[in-house]
Amino acid sequence: MPEHVEPSQPDVAPEPGGPASRTRRFDAVLLDFHGTLAQVEDPVTWVLAAARACGSDLERIRATSLADRLLTAGRAGGPLPARVPPALAEVWADRDLHPDAHRAAYTGLAQTVDSGVAGLAEALYERLLVPDGWLPYADTAATLAALRAVGLPVAVVSNIGFDIRGHFQAWGLADAVDAFVLSYEVGRCKPDPAIFLRACGMLGVDPERTLMVGDSAADAGAARVGCATLVLPAARAGAVNGLRSVLDLTLPAA
């Protein structure tokens, strides 16, 4: 079973020559991207923006219906499809390892929905690649700033088929991240132990002194290499998702 860290039960040790106080438990933090630091935009907003890029202004009621059908088919950053068409099985399996496969998988799923808007599947995918297609959670910036302030190195560890560094740059968060460990760049996907070991190696820290924070069982796979894990529920775009609880686990008491 993976180790789950509970904020209410921090390690406690006495300071030499002083009263007992909480000591720093971790030397670094690994953070998942989607569902932990940021969320894709609202589905209807997604459809309306993509349709406009194709030169089509949809009525909201039509966009809502179309969004529901696209979510069922499978949206990147949304729920997994109930069924992947056989013709897409190969690119679906490789979607987080190769950018071309990622694009082909999700545009292919979108193309199974008859939208009546030429080019919509590609336009929907393009929304993933720009910062405007995502929203950082409301507590992301403050949490990253607090970790930076005490000198705790941070790596973003993500199963993803495209580069997200530009998103962090646009959000003013790039300087708060020491390393990006992206599945398509390192050739491994969570929960493969290799991706967590790569992240720890890039930060120069011991896995047993590292906290992995995410929103899925794949993130909790970091426990296999000795990391402690904290799994938070994903929240709607722009909301608070409890990320600040990381500070209760990582920052020493004043």
Same domain, 61 and 176: no
Same domain, 117 and 169: no
Same domain, 144 and 227: yes
Looking at the structure of the chain, the number of domains it has is 2
Residue 240 has pLDDT above 90, yes or no: no
Q: Which of 132, 148, 175 is a domain's end point?
A: 132
Which element (helix H / strand E) includes 184?
Answer: helix 183-186
CATH number of the domain residue 218 falls in: 3.40.50.1000
Distance, CA of 206 to chain centre:
23
Same domain, 57 and 88: yes
Query: Where are the strands (E) in 134-197, listed by range?
Result: 134-136, 154-158, 179-182
CB distance 54 to 123 below 8 Å:
yes
Read off the pLDDT of residues 75-102 as tens digits, 9 standing for 90 and up: 988 888 989 999 999 999 999 999 999 9
Higher-scoring residue by pLDDT: 23, 238: 238
Same domain, 113 and 86: yes
**What's the whole-number mean pLDDT along residues 160-168?**
98
Let me know if residue 5 belongs to a domain: no
Same domain, 113 and 157: no
- Taken in order 182, 185, 189, 194, the sign of the CA dihedral is negative
Let me know if residue 224 belongs to a domain: yes
Q: Taking Cα atoms as reference points, which of 57, 39, 40 lies closest to residue 48?
A: 57
Q: Which of 82, 106, 132 is a domain's end point?
A: 132
Name the band, by pLDDT with cuts 50, 70 and 90, for residue 239. confident
Same domain, 144 and 211: yes
pLDDT for the residue numbered 88:
98
Residue 146 has pLDDT above 90, yes or no: yes
Let me know if residue 1 belongs to a domain: no
């995410």: which residue's tokens? 214
Q: Taking Cα atoms as reference points, which of 28, 245, 10 lies closest to residue 139?
A: 245
Residue 18 has pLDDT above 70, yes or no: no
Read off the pLDDT of residues 112-121 as tens digits, 9 standing for 90 and up: 999 999 999 9
**What's the whole-number mean pLDDT along residues 230-251?**
87
Rg (CA), the chain: 20
Q: Which of 132, 160, 191 is a domain's end point?
A: 132
Q: Print burial letters for 148-171: b (CB count within 10 Å at least 16), e (below 16).
A: beeebbbbbbbbbbbebeebbeeb
Let me know if residue 225 belongs to a domain: yes
Dist. CA 1–CA 17, nearest whole Å: 38
Same domain, 152 and 232: yes
> Which range marks the domain in which residue 244 is found?
12-37+137-250
Dist. CA 84–CA 226, nearest whole Å: 34
